[in-house]
Structure 1
Amino acid sequence: MDRDLINVFVLGLSFMFLFTAFQTNGFIQGPMIDSINHEYGKDQYGANTFVSMCLIYLIFSLVNWIAPAFVKLFGARISMIVSGITYILFVANFLWPQAWLLYIVSMIVGFGAAILWTAQGYYLTVCSTEKTIGRNSGLFWTLFQCSLLFGNIFVFVYFKDMTGEDIPHSTRTITYIVLSIVGSIGIVTMFFLGSPKSLQSQESIESSGSFNIIESIKESFALLSTRRMILLCITFWYTGIELSFYSGVFTTALGRINSLDKDGGNAKKYVGLAGMLIGIGEIVGGLIFGILGSKTVRWGRDPIIVLGYFIHMVSFLLILINFPPDSTISETVKKSAYIDPNLTIALISGFLLGFADSCYCTQCMSILGTLYADNSAPAFALFKFFQSIACACAFFYTPYFNLYIQLAILAIFASIGTLTFVIVEWKLRRDEHINLNNDHRVHQS
């Protein structure tokens, strides 16, 4: 089997295990913190999940400016292993719930996330060619998003018989022990990442230069000054807003609508199920776009982005009519939705959110791997900078803006971000067509 394809498979597998821990925690973090606050009292604990997530993505965005230099110094594999450990620290902190500790590890994992995703983007690019980048992006995304499926299967099965409005202490403890172990398996798997064919030796991905922060920032700013990167950054910004929505806001709001549970009045038990449906949507999208990866380059990425746009609009509409507007700003939902909250509609909305997100993220990775194949680390760092700063902003305003306002913000940025991506894609295809014609004329002459 192709060595680079094996590397991409191992990369996806390691992220699957690591993010089974982290992303599953992201979906249940809101309900978990609500339960801890009820058990200990807000005077003793008083943590806020949206403050935690805001800190993560704020630090994430800032560290992205120096992340390429870090990856250049230590290499992709070591960078991913070290930063992966910060994810385990974050998950394990819930075994000893302290608000100050939560906020500290939130900042630590924000630092690690910037390094991890810059290294991942670089490694995926050097393991790919222009013809295989679509396939490899789809394969990685599919394996990566399996984390949502497996982690939330565990949560749903373990939580389904839960009674009362809160998650018991014993349930929380076992959940985070399991997630910490699974995440650690992902870090161990990273040790098996091999040297891409495009690199001469393993040392070239372990250490490839000096730690020059100033040069790293200059490269990123130089890239940011180009027209196509400015346009793409608007798309990146939208992916950050919708990431915050499906990974934290949607499931937190769902867990507060106890009328969704007709039996026991505890909707928190359905958070894992909703996470599973989001994960299935992500996996289906990754499989489709992975299988059609070679055709994506020929047809263009814009049809997939436009498909994601319309699916997102449908999911936002379903959530608008099904969820009460105060479900994002209050632990106790008092207002009513346009219809009686329906679990089936909520789960369908989750699937659509996941599928549409895979449309955007796989194509963003694909276009960066094509446009910046020779200098991918700064490009992926900018992608994650704008995505994470948008995510931090979204988590900051979440406790203050009701659901309807948040959906309006999503719809506006979805429209603008889709348009800017299409403009860049059309320009890229036009340039490729001109180059092919020029080459053809040269050969004829």
Structure 2
Amino acid sequence: MDSVDEEARLLVNNAPISAPVNYTRDVHVLSFAFLLIFLAYGAAQNLESTVNTEEDLGTTSLGILYLSFTFFSLVAALVVRALGTKNALILGTTGYWLFIAANLKPTWFTMVPSSVYLGFAASIIWVAQGTYLTSTARNHARKNGLHEGTVIGNFNGEFWAVFASHQVIGNIISLVVLKDEAGGSTNGTTVLFIIFLCVVTLGIVLMWFLRKEDSKEEEPSLSSSSLRSSIFSLSKSVVAPLADIRMILTIPLISYSGLQAAFVWAKFTKEVVTPSLGVSGVGGAMAVYGAADAVYLVGPSFKLLFLFGFY
């Protein structure tokens, strides 16, 4: 009996130990891919109400986009489960590429379909981003013997720090490229959207270099037999948070955030900035706004605002 125990101890002691795996590379790739995609999209979004003014095409397109985003957010989790997070991230990037491409020939037949599709793509990419970042942090913590909560915080901190600069960089590009001409016309719009299209393409290429999640962390694939139960579970998960007082307290904050964003992206750029500085001045004004927003994001006021909501 003693010899058997001794052999067992030897086997345990000699068992191969998995080498530490560094997942920070994936956080770098994800962060800079989002930076490239959203510096282009954010700056393009700021120009919609001032560049596509015929029959309020730009403003209407943004409204359709966010209605679509709201609707498809209800089923985004199912799509991410079915595709896997990396594939869902890549699929989500295509909506931003198509939306910017539509601005090269802005008509109702190009902008409206691309806005609807971007609403779908945006819902997919944001669910996939949160899932991928959390899963990557857990993998990194588990395989390197680190505290999971600390790693999740560090990974999210890096992502949002990089992402917060997208408004500044994208709008500075707009400021440099766009030039106002006599008669109210603007020169350089086509060149600007071509530049943005190239930047988004680079961001999509970066997404391909993301490591796929470990099988232990992957959600089970969505089979046809479980579709009905998944839809039922999804319906419950949508309704259940409404019974949580913390969620109810965040509703005014979320509503305020949406209203101020709509005002800044559409009315402020069209009715305040453009009459004073011209279309080319939109980039400069929004770059300053983006810089202030980034400072606010990491400042104590942001923490107090959300502590009020959650506690």
What's the TM-score bracket when you normalise by the shorter of the two chains?
0.7 to 0.9
CA contact (8 A) 1:93 1:101 kept: yes
Q: Which residue of 232, 245, 249 corresponds with 2:267? A: 249
Cα shift at 1:239: 2.0
- Give, as a single letter, the amino acid of the residue that structure 1 aligns with 2:168: L
- Give, as a single letter, the amino acid of the residue that structure 2 aligns with 1:173: T
Distance 1:78 1:64, change over 3 A: same
Residue ranges of structure 1 left out of the alignment (5+ in a row): 38-45, 262-266, 290-301, 307-417, 427-445
Cα shift at 1:221: 2.0
Q: d(CA) in 1 for partners of 2:216 and 2:25? A: 16
CA contact (8 A) 1:27 1:252 kept: no
For 1:439, the equivalent position in structure 2 comes to none
Residue ranges of structure 2 left out of the alignment (5+ in a row): 1-19, 138-147
Cα shift at 1:201: 5.9
C-alpha deviations, 1:51-74, integer Å up to 9, x for none? 111111111111111111111111
For 1:184, the equivalent position in structure 2 comes to 201
Cα shift at 1:423: 4.5
CA contact (8 A) 2:92 2:125 kept: yes
For 1:216, the equivalent position in structure 2 comes to 234
C-alpha deviations, 1:60-115, integer Å up to 9, x for none? 11111111111111111111111210111111112122123211211111111111
Q: d(CA) in 2 for partners of 1:135 and 1:282? A: 21
For 1:29, the equivalent position in structure 2 comes to 48
C-alpha deviations, 1:342-374, integer Å up to 9, x for none? xxxxxxxxxxxxxxxxxxxxxxxxxxxxxxxxx
How is 1:232-247 mapped onto 2 (pairs within 5 angstroms)? Answer: 232-247=250-265
In structure 1, the residue corresponding to 2:209 is in which secondary structure? coil
Q: d(CA) in 2 for partners of 1:185 and 1:115? A: 19
Cα shift at 1:193: 1.7
**1:270 aligns to 2:288 (yes or no):** no
Q: d(CA) in 1 for partners of 2:212 and 2:295? A: 29
TM-score normalized by the length of structure 1: 0.57
Q: d(CA) in 2 for partners of 1:235 and 1:112? A: 24
C-alpha deviations, 1:286-323, integer Å up to 9, x for none? 5x46xxxxxxxxxxxx85343xxxxxxxxxxxxxxxxx
For 2:91, the equivalent position in structure 1 comes to 82
CA-atom RMSD, angstroms? 2.6
How is 1:262-341 mapped onto 2 (pairs within 5 angstroms)? Answer: 267-285=278-296, 288=298, 304-306=302-304
CA contact (8 A) 2:273 2:285 kept: no
For 2:35, the equivalent position in structure 1 comes to 16
Q: Which residue of 422, 429, 439 corresponds with 2:307? A: 422
Cα shift at 1:195: 4.3
In structure 1, the residue corresponding to 2:186 is in which secondary structure? coil
Distance 1:422 1:177, change over 3 A: same
Q: d(CA) in 2 for partners of 1:122 and 1:241? A: 27
Cα shift at 1:158: 1.4
In structure 2, the residue corresponding to 1:48 is in which secondary structure? helix
For 1:384, the equivalent position in structure 2 comes to none
Q: d(CA) in 2 for partners of 1:245 and 1:77? A: 33
- Give, as a single letter, the amino acid of the residue that structure 1 aligns with 2:90: I
Q: d(CA) in 2 for partners of 1:221 and 1:70? A: 19
For 1:60, the equivalent position in structure 2 comes to 69
For 2:120, the equivalent position in structure 1 comes to 111
Distance 1:21 1:424, change over 3 A: closer
In structure 1, the residue corresponding to 2:210 is in which secondary structure? coil
TM-score normalized by the length of structure 2: 0.79
**1:99 aligns to 2:118 (yes or no):** no
Cα shift at 1:140: 1.4
Q: d(CA) in 2 for partners of 1:62 and 1:93? A: 22
Aligned length: 277
Cα shift at 1:174: 1.2
- Give, as a single letter, the amino acid of the residue that structure 2 aligns with 1:239: S
Cα shift at 1:424: 5.0
Distance 1:305 1:166, change over 3 A: farther
CA contact (8 A) 2:168 2:286 kept: yes
- Give, as a single letter, the amino acid of the residue that structure 1 aligns with 2:279: K
Distance 1:275 1:423, change over 3 A: closer
Q: d(CA) in 2 for partners of 1:71 and 1:224? A: 23
C-alpha deviations, 1:3-49, integer Å up to 9, x for none? 34332222111111111221110111121113xx3xxxxxxxx3432
Distance 1:163 1:147, change over 3 A: farther
Percent sequence identity is 27
